[in-house]
Structure 1
């Protein structure tokens, strides 16, 4: 007999589902396709998420200020999120957040290309849209609403053309780029580099946030991206480097709140950043499940492809659970489903 079990401790991520793949007595009906335990698990997680989600959202100013204060006191995004000449002086060492035993000495050449000042300054944007790449954005008609935000953050160089504008918009103030993308799409910038520059045109003069100092192998390709844009990229995004000290502080902040993933995902990093620099934070494309929350139809992993994320590194459903708590507390707003037109 194939039994599945249920543990209250495991209802958030990993559990075998009650009655999953169980057939207690012979059946002479036409065989039906059974759900796998993973499918059952997703169904339970989706049901749990929807039970805790309300689209009738109202900002709770007291909760927002309290959480923002905690985050700012621990992480200091305004002064530490980006590596600058002020927070990383000449002759100091950069400590990789993923390889702490291999510091990088700040030479004159490296110091010269660091941002002279923190790009966020002391400014606070009134409204910020943080756009994840989840398949839930497909056919959402959220592009106009996203574009209406004062500051728009995007993750990992997502496509904005080919008809995606209606669902995801095209305004961009900050976009991240994982070095793995530079290797996979542009041969690590070891060959022709102009295609890389041309592909960044849709982002205008946004900040390009590179995690150059997470691991030692990220540094050379990130520096090549910087020099490529310096050489070829007039009117292109401005490359800046994500500060490993900020990442360490941010990881500790979320661990202290019970989130024990190996590393925060890019989505969680930029959502956390937005909470420090924006008065009103709206999340789009944050839905880590393979079925749509409202019609249960299958959706792709991203709005532009179905490539899987690194599940052994990031725990997307668990991260979403924590973000959902902030939604329910009126701290951030998570948008699921279709967006309403802002004007006719």
Structure 2
């Protein structure tokens, strides 16, 4: 299924705290640039009764684990990356860094994941499809919640939830919003309060300029006594993960954060639920125009991310019962327990 889709033009300004949630009208089909046929195909595939397929899940997890070993290698730790280790930047493969004692001291002592797989995990993307979705309760009911790129959640809890166990941060945010942490650092640390004791996952070793920014973030958090825990992606894991998805047919310069975290969740969680993953500018149910993110309409850097292609792969995994994509409104119930009977699960309204 080809999911090539031209995003709609968004020339109108959108208030950051009140994303567009306009009702569906007859003109929506025209405004999405003839997207209805593509989205109809997606909805048709998505609307099939979803059932977890243990064989498919275990097969895919085993493939992912054998190639990437994210459970043990996704995060650099003092156990898997001792002093003297040569780290090769996954975004600048000709550049490397030898781990010295100071850098080693910023690493976690051991594996951040328990030896036993987590039960239910929610990976929350930032797509505008979450606007008015009422998915907050379902998201917070997951045992483990992963969020991407330090998203605002305080004014959106009904729709995106509040619970956070891992939140990612691109060092570019430190540069753009907090002056590269060269001046006052308190605003940065205070902005993390909403995430509580979550782990702050940073790609410190993807590009050379990421490392000093990430170290300043680590020391700022430490100096101000914040309960959030900075951890760093292992660049070797990111390289292997990129190679894995290439073997699955994905052609992208770099993987999106959402796909990276969904991949990690599939290794460490037995039941993976995805929210806010919708790469198109129109809602799947009615084609109403959507903002790019649930909190603003800022565009992504398209030269790096192959969003529609990534979504096609995730939709395939959904159809195979490997993970569960939630599109549109969430039902008032919490995430179904794996112990629920098939009959009871069929009664739940798809999210």
Task: Say which of 88, 93, 99 aligns to 2:92.
Answer: 99
CA distance in 2, matches of 1:60, 1:195: 46
Distance 1:234 1:14 in 2: 43
**Alpha-carbon distance between aligned partners in 1 of 2:112 and 2:259, rounded to the nearest angstrom:** 20
The residue number in structure 2 matching 1:170 is 162
Residue in 2 aligned with 1:13?
A: 4
- The separation in 1 between residues aligned to 2:48 and 2:184, in whole angstroms, is 47
Q: Deviations over 1:151-188 (max 9, x none)?
A: 000000001112x0000000000000011111111111
Find the counterpart in structure 1 of residue 142 from structure 2.
149
Residue aligning to 2:229: 238
Measure the CA separation in 2 of the matches of 1:281 and 1:11. 25
State the 1:267 CA deviation.
0.2
Corresponding residue for residue 211 of structure 1: 203
Among candidates 326, 329, 340, match of residue 335 of structure 1:
326
Counterpart residue number, 1:277: 268
Deviation of 1:341 after TM superposition, in Å, equals 1.1
> Do the aligned residues in 1 keep the contact of 2:5 with 2:308 (CA within 8 Å)?
no
CA distance in 2, matches of 1:14, 1:153: 28
Q: State the Cα distance separating 1:340 from its structure 2 match.
A: 1.3
2:110 counterpart of 1:117:
yes
TM-score normalised by structure 1 residue count: 0.88
Q: Tell me the number of residue pairs that the alignment of Structure 1 and Structure 2 aligns.
A: 314
CA distance 1:33–1:76, shift in 2 (3 Å): closer
Distance, in Å, in 2 between the alignment partners of 1:302 and 1:233 is 31
SS of equivalent to 1:58 = coil
What RMSD, in angstroms, separates the aligned Cα atoms of the two structures?
1.9
Aligned residue for 2:46, secondary structure, equals coil
Secondary structure at 2:109 match in 1: coil
- For the residue of structure 2 that corresponds to 1:52, the secondary structure is helix
Deviation readout 1:288-323 (Å, 9 max, x if unpaired): 011010021101000000011111100111100000
Q: CA deviation at 1:113?
A: 1.3
Check if 1:60 corresponds to 2:53.
Answer: yes
Paired with 1:233 and 1:136, the residues of 2 have a C-alpha distance of 36
Aligned 8 A contact 1:197 1:233 in 2: no
Question: Which shifted more, 119-128 or 70-79?
Answer: 119-128
Q: Normalising to structure 2: TM-score of the pair? A: 0.86
CA distance in 2, matches of 1:211, 1:33: 39
Deviation at 1:35, TM superposition (A): 5.5
For 2:276 and 2:109, the matched residues in 1 are separated by 33
1:182 is paired with a residue whose SS is helix
Determine the C-alpha separation between the residues in 1 that align with 2:65 and 2:231.
21
Give deviations 1:1-60, integer Å, cap 9, x for gaps: xxxxxxxxx933279xxxxxxxxxxxxxxxx99958x823x4343223223212631101
Structure (1 or 2) with the larger CA radius of gyration: 1
Distance in 1 of aligned mates of 2:176 and 2:37: 35
* Map of 1:69 onto structure 2: 62
Find out whether 1:39 has 2:30 as its counterpart: no
Task: Name the counterpart of 1:18.
Answer: none
Distance 1:268 1:34 in 2: 29
| Structure 1 contact 78–121 (Cα < 8 Å) conserved | no
Pair 1:34–1:290, CA change in 2 (3 A): closer
In structure 2, distance between residues paired with 1:153 and 1:135 = 17
